[in-house]
Structure 1
C-alpha cells in the first residue's frame, strides 16, 4: 500500500515528506495521517518524536497550532509522546501553551496526568495556566491527583512521584 504524507511524517521519512509537499504545498496543514483523528503533519511528527521533520515543517510555515479533530494541537501531541525537546521547540515557535482540546485539557493537564515532571516545569516556565479546568472541572493538579495509582502503559520510563508534580503546580 502507498504511504500517505501523514504516515511519512510519523515514520520519520523526511525526503518523502519533502517531495510530497513539493508536489502539493497545501498538504502541510492537512490532517492526512488518520481520517478519524485528523492529525496534522506537525502533530504526527511531534508525537512520534521526529525532530528533523518538525524543524522542516516549521521552516515551511506549518501552523504550530493546527488542531486535530479532537482539538489537540501539535503541543498536545509532543506532550503525549513525551518529546521534551519538541515541546520546547514548539513553544519557542509560538505554540499556544494554554490551548484546550475538545475535552478541555491543555498540554499542562496532559503532562501532569502523565507525570512528566520536566515537561510540566517547561510548560509552566512558558506561561501555562495551572488554574484552567478541563470539561470534567479538573485542574492539572486535580487530574494528576486523580491519576494516582493508575497505570499508564507506554507513556515512558521515568514517572515522577505525585509529590513532585504537586510541588510544581502549587
Structure 2
C-alpha cells in the first residue's frame, strides 16, 4: 500500500511557512445544500457549506510542491483549525480488503508517526459507504494533535479522507466536519 503523504496536511502548510490565505483559499459555496463539483475527476459528490474554505489548485501546488504527494482536494474550516483532504489513489484496494486494513495499516501508521499516543480503528458507515477509520492523537508542544483517516474502495482504488487539527480545534468544529464527511457520496 502507498505511504500516506496527506496525513499531515495542516502540518505541511505550516512547514511551508504559508498561511491558508497565502495558499489562495477561496470560499465554499454559500448554499449549504448545494452539490459541489469539487475535485473534478474524483468519483464523489460532496455537499458543502460556508463553514469551509477550499484550497485552490494554485494553493495546493504551493502547499504541496511534490505532485506525487499532493491531495486532490483540501477543505479548511473557516477558523482554519481543521483541514480535510481527499485523495483518490492509484494503488489497488478492493472492497473486500477494507476490513483487512484494520489489522495491517496500524503498523504502517506507527512507523510513519512513532509518537502516536492513541490509535483507534473501526469500520464505519458514512455517506452510505463502508470506511476503515483510523483515529490517532499525537502530542505536540502546543497540545494534542488529532488525525483521522477514512479509507474506502472506489473502483478498486483507495479513496482516502484525512481530517487533521488540534484536538480542541476539532471539538469546536466537529459537527461541521462530520456533516461534510457524511455528505461524501461515491459515484459508481
TM over 0.5: no
More helix by share: 1
- Higher strand residue share: 2
Relative to the length of structure 1, the TM-score reads: 0.29
